[in-house]
A and B are shown apart, each in its own frame.
Chain A
């Protein structure tokens, strides 16, 4: 393992009852780095985190965290990490304050230090007014904030965050991401999974795009954008519903890729090197088909576009 690598994964395979959740992935995470694991639901992100935190064993491959093998020395790893899991977790019969204090106690944080950290974290995550409330009295968002604050009570070398912003409002989401950035500046290494591109783009130094258990690309956000998010994106929505444009788009020249809406209220997306040249041709095609444009927008190449392109490429291969 390279001396600068805090996490080193080589050929990791993890299967559940014969089904492959993680399929031969390899990557490294450097010290003080915020490393993003970006992928849709069911891509293998949580399974990877579970292996890295030694909660489950790898089926194949070598995984080292902080220089220790996850299979042979799991406890040495767990003594130096923090984990915010995707699933909610709470000491339901304890108050917010007791939840945080109990976590600090389990991690050998001295009593006086625990008090200071509880003060700081409850202030940061807006929990000050509900310190005396027990689990059942908290909203889902409040429980999530307690869960995150609790995992930040102890000192650690690596912080694993599995979709930590799920259930948080935008303001709290930003507070959390900024706090993680600050901790990373102070020496913390962060492994962060998300399916939200903006988060990865805002937070991560490097990103691995994972889908169906395989890493499709791994690089800095900038490099992924320039490599796979080639050109820019035209986003448009139609006044008509349920329109299939797949065939018609083939007649519009200059288009690199076309993506249909992934859900309701989602726009059509067109990737192109020169969107200004493509847009008139696109409008002409829509006019010929008797379709009416509701909105249109030209966006700069983003991680999202790179992600869409990568996952689309994989779909095409399979």
Chain B
């Protein structure tokens, strides 16, 4: 049997299905964003203009929040490596018939799988609110691309962070510092057309924006003028960051 698949099954068994509370906690945050934030602003923002199309705020927000699951799920890749280290399983796996590259690839696939499951659940629970969806085959392809490369990028990023820090306390601090700007300086919560220039520039440098825009293009048919560049950047950056993560991880000291 394929080594990566075996490690993937192990990761999902051990860290995901065995911890239903963790699963539930991952689901609560996006639902709060969509239901509380979405409804709270619906009185103030009756319609939102994004990429030249007018829509309800909740319809704009929901795909962004779904994509943010790829970011929060990705962070879990680094955290789960720390779990393995803390409980002695990291070295135990590495004295088994596996390579370091297989190990981190399985971690990224695991978070991608978890991100997809989360995104699907959130989409399912918020589906009644999302009137006006226009999903076609190309749209599904867009969403799959956003999911695949978003998970790869954020999973790899969190692995790089996890290899650089010495303790899990520092890891938590780093994630707590990195996560809010990544989440809020992106097109997840607002369209970039009408924000101040500085925020727009920062958000356009944020790969979460590319994933969110691409996912919206798939789900809502919203096509920004720079969507082509965004998808290219997302793919190139995610592959680059993945290779960097492999390189860093292979040099990790045991």
A93's contact among B6, B18, B92, by CB below 8 Å, is which? Answer: B18
Q: Within 8 Å CB of B91, what residues of A?
A: 55, 85, 87, 89
> Contact residues of A with B, CB < 8 Å?
50, 53-56, 75, 78-79, 81, 83, 85, 87-94, 98, 102, 105-108, 134-135, 147
Give the complex CA separation of A88 and B90 in angstroms. Answer: 11
- Interface stretch, picked from B66-74, B81-89, B124-132, B241-249, is B81-89
Do A105 and B87 touch (CB < 8 A)?
Answer: no
Do B95 and A56 touch (CB < 8 A)?
Answer: no
Q: Given known contacts A81-B95, A89-B87, A92-B83, is B6 in contact with A105 (CB within 8 Å)?
A: yes
Q: Within 8 Å CB of A89, what residues of B?
A: 87-89, 91-92
B99's contact among A75, A81, A92, by CB below 8 Å, is which? Answer: A75
- Distance from B98 Cβ to chain A, minimum over Cβ atoms (Å): 8
- Distance from B40 Cβ to chain A, minimum over Cβ atoms (Å): 36
Do B10 and A102 touch (CB < 8 A)?
Answer: yes
Which B residues between 46 and 103 are near A, CB-CB below 8 angstroms?
A: 83, 87-89, 91-99
Do B88 and A94 touch (CB < 8 A)?
Answer: no
- Among B91, B93, B97, the one with the most A-chain Cβ atoms within 10 Å of its Cβ is B97
Q: Within 8 Å CB of A53, what residues of B?
A: 95
Do A102 and B87 touch (CB < 8 A)?
Answer: no
Q: Given known contacts A85-B92, A93-B14, A105-B6, is B97 in contact with A78 (CB within 8 Å)?
A: yes
Do B87 and A91 touch (CB < 8 A)?
Answer: yes
Do B254 and A106 touch (CB < 8 A)?
Answer: no
Do A102 and B14 touch (CB < 8 A)?
Answer: yes
Give the complex CA separation of A147 and B10 in angstroms. Answer: 16
Do B18 and A94 touch (CB < 8 A)?
Answer: yes
Give the complex CA separation of A102 and B96 in angstroms. Answer: 13
Do B6 and A106 touch (CB < 8 A)?
Answer: yes
Closest 8 CB pairs of A and B: A89-B88, A93-B18, A83-B95, A79-B97, A89-B92, A53-B95, A92-B87, A91-B14
Q: Within 8 Å CB of A88, what residues of B?
A: 87-88
B173: interface (CB < 8 Å): no
Do A85 and B13 touch (CB < 8 A)?
Answer: no
Closest to A84 in B: B92
Pull 18 A–B residue pairs with CB atoms less than 8 Å apart, ordered by A.
Answer: A54-B95, A78-B96, A78-B97, A81-B95, A83-B92, A85-B95, A88-B87, A89-B87, A89-B89, A89-B92, A91-B87, A93-B15, A94-B14, A98-B13, A102-B14, A107-B97, A108-B1, A134-B18
Q: Given known contacts A102-B10, A106-B7, is B95 in contact with A90 (CB within 8 Å)?
A: no
Do B9 and A75 touch (CB < 8 A)?
Answer: no
Q: Within 8 Å CB of A107, what residues of B?
A: 96-97
Do B10 and A105 touch (CB < 8 A)?
Answer: yes
B19: interface (CB < 8 Å): yes
Q: Within 8 Å CB of B99, what residues of A?
A: 75
- Among A75, A78, A92, A98, the one with the most B-chain Cβ atoms within 10 Å of its Cβ is A92
Give the complex CA separation of A98 and B13 in angstroms. Answer: 9
Give the complex CA separation of A107 and B1 in angstroms. Answer: 9
Give the complex CA separation of A92 and B88 in angstroms. Answer: 10
- Among B13, B14, B83, B88, the one with the most A-chain Cβ atoms within 10 Å of its Cβ is B88
Give the complex CA separation of A186 and B10 in angstroms. Answer: 31
Do B96 and A50 touch (CB < 8 A)?
Answer: no
Closest to A86 in B: B88
Q: Within 8 Å CB of B19, what residues of A?
A: 93
Q: Given known contacts A55-B254, A79-B97, A85-B95, is B9 in contact with A105 (CB within 8 Å)?
A: yes
Give the complex CA separation of A282 and B184 in angstroms. Answer: 82
Q: Within 8 Å CB of B14, what residues of A?
A: 91, 93-94, 102
Q: Given known contacts A102-B14, A108-B1, is B88 in contact with A90 (CB within 8 Å)?
A: yes
Give the complex CA separation of A79 and B98 in angstroms. Answer: 8
Which B residues between 96 and 152 are near A, CB-CB below 8 angstroms?
A: 96-99
Closest to A99 in B: B14
Do A90 and B254 touch (CB < 8 A)?
Answer: no
Not counting A91-B10, A134-B18, a sample of 8 additional A-B residue pairs whose C-beta atoms are within 8 angstroms of each other reads A75-B97, A78-B97, A87-B91, A91-B87, A93-B14, A93-B15, A105-B6, A106-B93
- Distance from A202 Cβ to chain B, minimum over Cβ atoms (Å): 26
Q: Within 8 Å CB of A56, what residues of B?
A: 254
Give the complex CA separation of A93 and B116 in angstroms. Answer: 22
